[in-house]
Structure 1
Amino acid sequence: MWKRPHLAPPTPLYALPSDHREAEAEEFMQAVQTVAAGYEERARRAKGAAAKVLMATAQLASDRGWVRPALKAIADGVPAATAAINAIESIAATFRRLGGVMAERVSDLGDIRDRVVSRLSGEPEPGVPMPEQPSILLADDLSPADTADLDLDLIIAIATKLGGPTSHTAIIARQRGLPCVVGVPDLQTIGDGDVVLLDGAAGTLTRRLSEVDADALVQADARRRAAIDGWAGPGVTADGKAVQLLANVADGAAARAAAVGPVEGVGLYRTELGFLNSLTEPTIDHQADTYAEVLDAFPGRKVVVRTLDAGTDKPVPFASLADEPNPALGIRGQRLAITRPGLIRRQLDAIAMAAMGRDPRPWVMAPMISTVDEAARFAEECRARDLFAGVMVEVPAVALLAEEFLKVVDFVSIGTNDLTQYVMAADRLAPDLAHLTTPWQPGLLRLVKMTADAGLKLGKPVGVCGEAAADPAMACVLVGMGITSLSMAAAAVPAVGVQLSKITTERCRRAAEAALTAATATDARSAAVAEL
């Protein structure tokens, strides 16, 4: 198993002569700039979410938060390599204390540290050693650059001990079409040359399989992949029930890439991802141009725009978020209207401007809605701009009162990632709690069913736009509950489409009933799969 070497400051520490310190600082800054430029080059070669992750890492590589203290230490006589290691460790310690998504950035910082120190030492930047034959890479953790640099002819899948399903490793692996399982315990007990079976879709790593069983599973997967590659849409069950299969996108480039595939529109346009590096709020005109790119990628098709979901793991600088002890339960999403009342209104103005002359009208939904009053006020703002109004179902109270919410909005979309973490009181990015944050938890499934039932009763659409929609088995369960649309990463759509095409609506309903009556997440998934 590959593990990033731990770099510690050399001992004993020697002081730089005063007349060498300026040159040492210049050499340090050159190393920093070279490493940052390397990340930027990887970002240019990538696309979509992977490009954004790598560009964010490039900015972290030259961030003053660690560069400035390192330069101060060098000015005080500390060698550049030691100054870099100490400065980055100080930032990493803070990130570890914050937990969640910030703790996942520690691997990014470690990669930056290693590359800067290697440059200072005159050595090539470190990377994952490549095997001589196609293999599964087992690692303690991988940085964005590590994952972006992997030779896919030699690395056919990856498994890591650390990280969560929304970690940077998982995001870039997904973008590159690389099967990936994260948060695997006891990974270090697998030796070089051991035979394992990795199932990226199920998130499992199986050991000690017989060669006959492994071959049978691999051949079945090859047949499944061939069917997926040939699927051209639209989403429909074996008995002809239409199910909208939509894409989650982050910007115009991602929307254009998704539009080439067999998707019927956009079910989640994450507007905040386009502004993570904006220090000041973009003008309404600038925002409108940005949103128009996504609308133009899907002319005549449905586009669901989510207003800024800033906060917690998606800090947007211009939103001026407070330093909160528990940001996941604080000012985030629609709650920004409390501290920045004009922010969301200006965004709605920009969406309306982008929609002018384009058909159909965008569907707009607010994240982190908690009360019917909030939903009604948001709906009023949307309708005043001739926009369809909806809300995200992420807070359990919304699912419990789904009928009341649907009376004041045009649609709802269930964000299973956040709804799961709030239902289970477990950070969705914590690998040690992954067993709690699976969407197969019966408590979550029953809230989803309550929401779907409310939609059926009132004749209004209820979609799902969390990671759960990308699981083909879960997709059938959701359809069986009455969910009308599923939104996911564009690459996941064909697999879901193939699965739905093989199953009747009645079998989807039976699978949903089986999952809903289970007492545990494991039993829920097993019962549903048995019905399918």
Structure 2
Amino acid sequence: MDSTTFAGVGIGLGVAQGPVARMAERAPAPADAASERSAEEEAGRVREAVAAVAAELNRRADSAGGSARDVLEAQAMMAEDPSLEEAVQSRLDDGKTAEWAVHDAFAEFRTTLEAVGGYLGERAADLDDVAARVVAHLRGEPAPGVPSPGHPFVLVAPDLAPADTALLDLDPESPNRVLALVTTDGGPTSHTAILAREKGIVAVVGTTDAAGLADGDVVIVDAAAGAVIAHPDDAQLADARGRAEARAAAEKAPVTPGALADGTAVPLLANLGNSAGAAEALELGAEGVGLFRTEFLFLSAKEAPTVDEQRAEYAKLLSAFRGKKVVVRALDAGADKPLAFLNDAEEDNPALGLRGLRALRANEQILRDQLTALAEANADAGADLWVMAPMVATVEETEYFTSLARELGIRTAGVMVEVPSIALLADRALAHTDFASIGTNDLTQYTMAADRLLGSVATLQDPWHPAVLRLIEQVGAAGEKHGKPVGICGEAAADPLLAVVLVGLGATTLSMAPAALADVRYSLGRHTADDARRIARAALDADDAAGARAAARSAADPAS
């Protein structure tokens, strides 16, 4: 049989080969039928099943760590959401079975979250997994999950639930080791892609045509090329094996600071959600932190944490990176991540509502407390502390945050570029602040008017799109004009080829999941500054994301 190549979006530079094992189909939805039990009996069954599922998700969270832990803990909280419990109970009171009540109530909430969009919209797909696990428990069936064929395999699935991605078996000695991951849905900013990158899994996502692969089919998963090759010949297998071995050898080489081939320094930093990942990030060669998300302190709290509580947590991270650059993002929450003490008012379109700096400004004491805690924490920790405001849209907001941060003891203050307006005004904004950091996930979402992780517009949610790249170029040019640093802290920085393009557009630092550092370091080291600008120009001249990616690949390796 001749080989066939399927195109998708590669995560990292890895390449792997092996037989396919497909994710099992979900069990059929429960029937809408009357229960033979009382509503009280059915309610008891639901409570027991939900508690068991939440406990299992929390157990996996404890084992997983990193971003996976955050996602799994959020799923566990979903399972026990009081609003969902009420919705299930109303169906039980109507005489329905526990299985159908759970299925229908969760489906209704999924539709609601999809309509809300933003952060809550991103959580909608997770509800399907939670519901399936609860229904499976009620039926006495195994929870849906990854197959165990008894040999190493390439997992092919429409997409993966966070609970599955978080604990994929990657042990080289395991008979059920996952060699690589192929999904037919999702994009480069999906949870599957983010967690695969964090765990260093060879993955190609959004490979629509891979839906036709069958169990046992031998494939090559080539993330660097964004391709899946089905039924490869001996020469293709040998080439892939050789590249995998060369990459493994490169990963074992001594860690060096990020730099281009001509010696131009490009510091490589880590994105972290709490202090627990500091040691691993340093071990993998992080030269500092380019994005420290502080939401973990706030999202599960009933009231804003005190200055003392915040200072203790920030000190843990800052001390781990003593003498190194640490960029902290001020609380990024609001209507799409509702906090009762910040803003829990319903909004028709929370992604465009009172969020980020807007919400903090409306509750300035929370912002003042956070900035005070950061300044005090660093007084003893001795890191090179930088603090940035999220969701800045205007020059006036830039001036406001920078002035307040300096008043409260922050020496280096900056803004995130996530909204096209501030990218277009970067020349003016950077005259009033110390640095800019581009959040490519949101910048892409707002530039393309495409809700992050909404499947129907996933093809538009791609940071390779020339419209997004041109905005980044404007920010880079403004940074160069004013002598101000311009960092990248979105998922785009973890794409090895796109990282080169971003440097060519004027980025001075790149921040990413620690597992992506080795691939990006290797990719940068293959190109000079002139190369990076030439490759970036090729991408800018394309008409769409696919064209930009192909043009950059051709410019980076003309022989390809």
Shift of 1:15: 4.1
Shift of 1:183: 3.0
TM-score, normalization: structure 1? 0.92
Match of 1:13 in 2: 34
**Aligned residues of 2:268 and 2:517 also touching (Cα < 8 A):** yes
**Aligned residues of 2:297 and 2:305 also touching (Cα < 8 A):** no
One-letter amino acid matched to 1:143 = A
For each residue in 1:20-49, what CA deviation from the matched residue of structure 2 results, as whole angstroms up to 9, or x when unmatched?
Answer: x54443333222211111111111111111
Higher mean displacement: 451-460 or 90-99: 90-99
For each residue in 1:313-337, what CA deviation from the matched residue of structure 2 results, as whole angstroms up to 9, or x when unmatched?
Answer: 6444542233222222211111113
Q: Quick one: which of 84, 97, 107 aligns to 1:79?
A: 97
RMSD: 2.4
Q: Quick one: which of 430, 434, 452 aligns to 1:406?
A: 430
**Aligned residues of 2:187 and 2:459 also touching (Cα < 8 A):** no
- Secondary structure of 1:389's counterpart equals strand
**Aligned residues of 1:201 and 1:471 also touching (Cα < 8 A):** no
Shift of 1:82: 3.0
Shift of 1:285: 1.3
Shift of 1:106: 4.1
Identify if the C-alpha distance between structure 1 residues 403 and 126 changes in structure 2 by more than 3 Å, giving closer, same or farther: closer
Match of 1:188 in 2: 211
1:488 aligns with 2:512: yes
**Aligned residues of 1:271 and 1:307 also touching (Cα < 8 A):** yes
1:354 aligns with 2:372: no
Alignment partners' CA distance in 1, 2:506 and 2:195:
32
For each residue in 1:247-267, what CA deviation from the matched residue of structure 2 results, as whole angstroms up to 9, or x when unmatched?
Answer: 111111022321222111001
**Aligned residues of 1:102 and 1:313 also touching (Cα < 8 A):** yes
For each residue in 1:400-455, what CA deviation from the matched residue of structure 2 results, as whole angstroms up to 9, or x when unmatched?
Answer: 22121111101111111111222222223234433323222222222222211221
For each residue in 1:173-229, what CA deviation from the matched residue of structure 2 results, as whole angstroms up to 9, or x when unmatched?
Answer: 333332233333244322222333323455443446444224313422331232133
Alignment partners' CA distance in 2, 1:77 and 1:124:
26
**Aligned residues of 2:197 and 2:516 also touching (Cα < 8 A):** no
Identify if the C-alpha distance between structure 1 residues 176 and 480 changes in structure 2 by more than 3 Å, giving closer, same or farther: closer
Q: Quick one: which of 116, 126, 130 aligns to 1:108?
A: 126
One-letter amino acid matched to 1:132 = G
Match of 1:27 in 2: 45
The 5 Å alignment of 1:179-328 reads 179-200=202-223, 203-207=226-230, 209-311=232-334, 314-328=337-351
Shift of 1:136: 1.4
Match of 2:83 in 1: 65
Q: Quick one: which of 497, 505, 524 aligns to 2:529?
A: 505
Shift of 1:232: 0.3
Alignment partners' CA distance in 1, 2:128 and 2:537:
47
The 5 Å alignment of 1:139-158 reads 139-152=157-170, 153=174, 154=176, 155-158=178-181
Shift of 1:163: 3.2
One-letter amino acid matched to 2:31 = P
TM-score, normalization: structure 2? 0.88
Unaligned residue ranges in structure 1 (runs of 5+): none
| Larger relative contact order (Cα-Cα within 8 Å, sequence gap ≥ 6) | 2
Alignment partners' CA distance in 2, 1:231 and 1:436:
38
**Aligned residues of 1:25 and 1:75 also touching (Cα < 8 A):** no
**Aligned residues of 1:278 and 1:318 also touching (Cα < 8 A):** no
Shift of 1:131: 2.0
One-letter amino acid matched to 2:524 = L
1:335 aligns with 2:358: yes
Higher mean displacement: 136-145 or 5-14: 5-14
Shift of 1:101: 5.1
Unaligned residue ranges in structure 2 (runs of 5+): 1-21
Higher mean displacement: 426-435 or 363-372: 426-435
Match of 1:173 in 2: 196
- Secondary structure of 2:525's counterpart equals helix
**Aligned residues of 2:424 and 2:474 also touching (Cα < 8 A):** yes
Higher mean displacement: 465-474 or 182-191: 182-191
Identify if the C-alpha distance between structure 1 residues 149 and 364 changes in structure 2 by more than 3 Å, giving closer, same or farther: closer
Alignment partners' CA distance in 1, 2:406 and 2:483:
19
